[in-house]
Amino acid sequence: MDTIQQRLNGAGLGLRRSFLGQVIETPPSAVDFYEVAPENWITMGGKLGKQFRAMTERFPFVCHGLSLSLGSTDPLDETFVRAVKDFMHEHQMKLYSEHLSYCSQDGHLYDLLPIPFTSEAVSHVAARIKRVQDILEQKIAIENVSYYAAPGQEMTELDFFNAVVQEADCDVLLDVNNIYVNSVNHGYDPEAFLKAIPAQRIVYAHIAGHYVEADDFLVDTHGAEIIDPVWKLLGKAYEWHGVFPTLLERDFNIPEMAELVREVNTIKSIQNAWQQHHAQQSA
């Protein structure tokens, strides 16, 4: 496993400003690490900036970018990448992850849009990932994203994702809910997709809830409880790839901290069960 897993352990939570003060005052013991979008915190000063600094001094953190737009044909924002590098150094963050998508074309589009599944796009985005890694002087993790259309598709989502990861020689942020959402929307086997992800590249995972628009149309919202099929898929991931750090995402309809902690504890219970299973198998 990648050395980042020696620094990250257990179950994490995406840090949101709405409960920052609460976790500073009473840190939930179930949460082993936190994740933030650097775009939301790099320029933060004042009280919130001090509170954030107090958190990063006490707990492991990872960066999860929103705006790098790896699939865009716009020039790569190297100024932003260098700002991320400084931010990570300042707060001793060991990992930066981004979406395999794009969100700009002659200006920001404010949505994560799918990159065409083509060999040309593989080469284009892999080169941009390599450049980011050169600037940061470390590997980054790329997240498989939810998508609702596949313009210009020449290969499957799975083949495209694995080809980019291979050519860029980057790590993987595995989003379990996105696999489930896409499998329903595009009619493929989520377990087959999951099994084909290169285990040695997975450094951590996301799990989240979604909105059911129809039986055959799900929307990745991060605004609801996680459903049983997604929990089961996470268990399958641990079965096939070993137990890796996993983070709960909740971006809106944020419940009381007790509810967030309940889902974090569910992650931990599934992790513990599979750790025990693997230990028994190797004994």
How far apart, in Å, do the first and last CA atoms of the chain sit? 20
Q: For residue range 217-228, what is the model confidence (pLDDT) as tens digits?
A: 999 999 999 999
Where do we find the tokens 């609460």?
22
Q: What is the mean pLDDT of residues 28-34?
A: 98
Q: For residue range 126-159, what is the model confidence (pLDDT) as tens digits?
A: 999 999 999 999 999 999 999 998 888 999 999 9
**Mean pLDDT of the residues in the chain:** 93
For 79-129, what is the HEC assignment? Answer: HHHHHHHHHHHHCCCCCEEEECCEEECCCEEEEEECCCCCHHHHHHHHHHH
* Res 2 pLDDT > 60: no
Closest to 74 (Cα-Cα) out of 97, 103, 99: 103
Q: What is the mean pLDDT of residues 41-57?
A: 92
216 DSSP 8-state letter: T
Q: What is the mean pLDDT of residues 98-108?
A: 75
pLDDT (0 to 100) of residue 112 = 76
Instruction: Identify the CATH number of the domain in which residue 18 sits.
Output: 3.20.20.150
| Domains in the chain, number | 1
Do residues 93 and 57 lie in contact, with contact meaning Cβ atoms separated by under 8 Å? no
Instruction: For helices 119-136 and 157-168, give the axis angle rounded to 10 degrees.
Output: 40
40 DSSP 8-state letter: G
The answer to whether the predicted template modeling score (pTM) of the entire model surpasses 0.85 is yes
* Res 282 pLDDT > 90: no
Contacts of 60 (CB under 8 A, 6+ apart): 7, 8, 32, 33, 34, 94
User: What does the block give as tokens for 220?
Assistant: 């990745």
Share above pLDDT 70 across residues of the chain, in percent, rounded to a whole number: 95
Query: In which band, very low, low, confident or very high, does the pLDDT at 106 lie, cut at 50, 70 and 90?
Result: low
pLDDT (0 to 100) of residue 5 = 47
Q: What is the mean pLDDT of residues 42-55?
A: 92
Lowest mean pLDDT: which of 15-19, 107-111, 208-212?
Answer: 107-111
pLDDT (0 to 100) of residue 108 = 63
d(CA 108, CA 110): 6
Query: In which band, very low, low, confident or very high, does the pLDDT at 57 lie, cut at 50, 70 and 90?
Result: very high
pLDDT (0 to 100) of residue 109 = 52
Where do we find the tokens 């890796």?
244
**CA distance readout (Å), 100 to 136, 188, 237, 265, 274:** 18, 19, 20, 29, 29
Instruction: Give me the domain span that covers residue 230.
Output: 3-282
pLDDT (0 to 100) of residue 152 = 84
